[in-house]
Structure 1
Amino acid sequence: MKKFTFMLVALFSLFVVSACSEDGEAAGEVVELKLGTKMPEDTAEGQTFQHFADLVKEKSDGSLVVKVYPAEQLGKGTTQIDNMLLGTQDMYAEGATYFSDFDSNIEVSSIPYLFSDYDHYTKFNTGEMGEEINKNLIDNGVRILNTERNFIRGPYRVLLSKEPIKSVEDLKGLKIRSFESAFYSAAYESVGAKPTVVAWTETYLALKQNLVDAVTSPISLVWPMKFTEVAPYMTVIDEYPQDVVIAISEDKFSGLSEEHQQILIDAANEAGEKAAELTDKEVKEHLELMKSEHGIEIFEIDKQEWVDAFSDYHYQLEEEGKLPKGYVDQIKSLK
């Protein structure tokens, strides 16, 4: 009898072990992940996040499911990142600068004209300098899934203004909306502008009430924000490259099977390719609407003039101890 009981216990233990993977996922169990985003689901970015979720489900044969919560349903950006660290949500997708609390060097991405183009920015993110940032993020509980950093936002940046802006000289005295970044505001102050921090959702009203005269924006977000209703002059400045990162809690990631980890990484990188396709289509449609409904005028700049005007500020950051010595030249050498 004792021998029979022992055999039953052994068989039961074997069943329990075989039912669970070494990473703690039960065999046959559907793993669901909560992904929070800022963008509405009907935008190009919103559609890309859903495409990412669809890819994950397809690649995992339904064993891994990403539920997308668009339009800040789970809270503002910093709240969602806190949620990730607390374990109440698993993932957050937004601009990389949202994670600068974990490594201040992330903020270099929004310094005007430090990077020559998106390829230059990608070399920074995927090379040794970017790997150091990624290591710091992981050490602080956050992992970026789209390792190729190919989810381009924009795909370029413009300046919307009440009066035409054609040269750096036109920036002098300009009341320009800024986001909360000491690097960004100080950069525009260095060329004579008067930056004012205004919440993104309050920028249209600030323009309408003349609290600011201009705003910079990814071209893809101009029409949804209706900026050209109150600022009909558009200058293509492309001051810095922007991308979206799909981040996951490191605790959640490390608890997944290796197969599920790889599926998330592959799907995130494939989503970046889809984003480019959707964004290009959306921007073309938006430009036609802005021209026909708001009568916008579009200006190009002498980019080298703007690069030269901002270059002194790049090194000023090192002199003030806000960037490590030699960091700017190290970035520029990546071209």
Structure 2
Amino acid sequence: MFEAFKPKIAGGCAALAVAAMAGGAFAPAPAGAQTWDMPTPYPDATFHTQNIMEFAEDVKAATDGALEIEVHSAGSLFKHPEIKNAVRSRQVPIGEFFLSLLTNENAAFGIDSQPFLATTYEQAEALWAAQKPVITELLAEQDLMPLYAVPWPPQGLYTQEPVESVEDLKGVKFRSYNAALERFAQLAGAAPTQVEVPDIPQAFATGRVEAMITSPSTGANSKAWDFVDHYYDIKAWVPKNIVVVNKRSFAALDESVQTAILNAAQQAQGRGWQMSQEETAEKTQVLADNGMEVHQPSDALMQGLKEIGDKMIAEWKQEAGPAGEEILEDYRSRISD
């Protein structure tokens, strides 16, 4: 079993002597200093990972080194689907994952991946405010606590061939990354295939997939122009990544360290939402600069896609039950104000 959550105590006099003999500066960590290993699913170039690295630096600075967070990116420590349970079981005390991956546990986790429910950052923020109390309770049942959540840019459609209507997606091998997108592909008549972000280029190169819905960030970072020609700015949904901490691991910390983590998390959430908005414009331009045709979708395509979205919301409401109805009512009251 990987023992990530182990305090790493600063070295004693012998270590100081060695450092002095080497002629280097040596600043011992505070007595009882700890290092937390933090698995994340995305590469270092992804803005989510960059934001987390800043979060880790903020925690280190605010605690004067009493707590250091070592970020293990790109699924190098735990694969994406394993991260939540690794935090739950205290193999690691903290981790990041795509929130709607938990849809199979409870539909409330996946409302932000329902097509055309919340398609702007303002709507996404209102949806998160409505969703957070419900998922906080659900995560607490697994000894987990959310620290912050950051959205991806609105999701776009990438295809090898031009798409004028939903009918053009029939039979196409379609990348999925959660239950909602798998269902979306099915309703569009496409053939869904689960593919994680690091595997996207190979999946296209080997013919496992021929189209995908994902953010401009993922498209640019995976060099989508190497395997598809068309990007449609359909703004399908604005899904989120979430950073969670094990509640017992958090409770074991000194109160001052807990406060430092919560403050750093608040800063990371605000910074991350801003980074996401900047990313949308920058990475869409990167797609165009590298030869992809960036399209506004046709009316026929959007009509067909929204019809799929309406079906999925109806199914989601039935599955989510009273908790889902509570989220939807809260969300709709917020966007109607």
TM-score w.r.t. length of structure 2? 0.78
Q: Does the aligned pair in 2 maintain the 1:37–1:70 contact within 8 Å?
A: yes
Which residue of the partner structure matches residue 55 of structure 1? 58
Give the counterpart of 1:249 among 240, 243, 246. 246
The 1:87/1:119 distance shift into structure 2, 3 A limit, reads same
1:208 partner letter: A
**How many pairs were matched up?**
299
Partner of 1:314: 313
Which residue in 2 is equivalent to 1:39? 42
Structure 1 position 288, deviation (Å) = 4.7
State the distance in 2 between where 1:240 and 1:287 align: 16
Moved more, 78-87 or 44-53: 78-87
- Residue in 2 aligned with 1:141? 143
Question: Unpaired runs of 5+ in structure 1?
Answer: 1-26
Does the 8 Å CA contact 2:154/2:280 hold for their aligned counterparts? no
Distance 1:204 1:159 in 2: 16
Q: Deviation at 1:123?
A: 2.5
For the residues of structure 2 that align with 1:282 and 1:104, how far apart are their CA atoms? Answer: 28
Q: Is the 8 A contact 1:102 1:136 kept in 2?
A: no
Structure 1 counterpart of 2:94, one-letter code: M
> Of 219, 222, 226, which aligns to 1:222?
219
Q: Alpha carbons of 1:114 and 1:54: their partners in 2 closer, same or farther (altered >3 Å)? A: same
Partner of 1:196: 192
Does 2:267 align with 1:264? Answer: no
5 Å-filtered alignment, 1:99-118, equals 99-100=102-103, 102-118=105-121
> Deviation string for 1:231-259 (max 9, x for gaps)?
11000122111222111111111222333
Structure 2 residues not aligned, in runs of 5+? 1-29
Residues 1:254 and 1:47: Cα distance change in structure 2 (over 3 Å): same
Write out per-residue CA displacement over residues 248-287 of structure 1, whole angstroms, 9 at most, x where no aligned residue. Answer: 1111112223332222122122123333455556565544
- Counterpart residue number, 1:300: 296
Question: Which one of 151, 154, 162 corresponds to residue 156 of structure 1?
Answer: 154
Does the 8 A contact of 2:115 with 2:312 survive in 1? no
Supply the RMSD in Å over aligned alpha carbons: 2.8
Given that 2:96 and 2:241 are in contact with CA atoms closer than 8 Å, whether structure 1 keeps it comes out as: yes
Letter in 1 for 2:183: A
Give the 3-state SS of the residue equivalent to 1:39 in structure 2: coil
Asked if structure 2 preserves the Cα contact closer than 8 Å seen for 1:166 and 1:299, the reply is no
Alpha-carbon distance in 1 for matches of 2:134, 2:278: 35
Check whether the contact 1:52–1:271 (CA below 8 A) recurs between aligned residues.
yes
Report how far residue 225 of structure 1 moved: 1.4
- Identify which range, 99-108 or 214-223, moves more after superposition: 99-108
Rounded to whole Å, the distance in 1 between the matches of 2:163 and 2:58 is 43
Deviations 1:293-318 (A, max 9, x none): 4x111111349633344213321344
Corresponding residue SS for 2:61:
helix
**Residue pair 1:77, 1:98 contacting (<8 A) in 2 also:** no
How far, CA to CA, are the matches of 1:304 and 1:217 in structure 2? 16
Moved more, 228-237 or 270-279: 270-279
- 61-70 vs 94-103, greater mean Cα deviation: 94-103
Identity of aligned residues (%): 19
Deviation at 1:289, TM superposition (A): 4.4
Query: What displacement does 1:173 show?
Result: 4.1
Q: CA contact under 8 A between 2:93 and 2:245: conserved in structure 1?
A: yes
Note if contact 1:102-1:140 (Cα within 8 Å) is conserved in structure 2: no
Question: Residues 170-218 of structure 1, C-alpha deviation per residue, up to 9 Å, x if partnerless?
Answer: 334443222241x33223333x331322322443333334443211111
Deviates more, 1:63-72 or 1:118-127: 118-127
Partner of 2:319, secondary structure, is coil
* Cα distance in 2, alignment partners of residues 276 and 120 from structure 1: 13
Higher alpha-carbon deviation: 91-100 or 133-142: 91-100
* CA–CA distance in structure 2, aligned partners of residues 47 and 296 of structure 1: 26
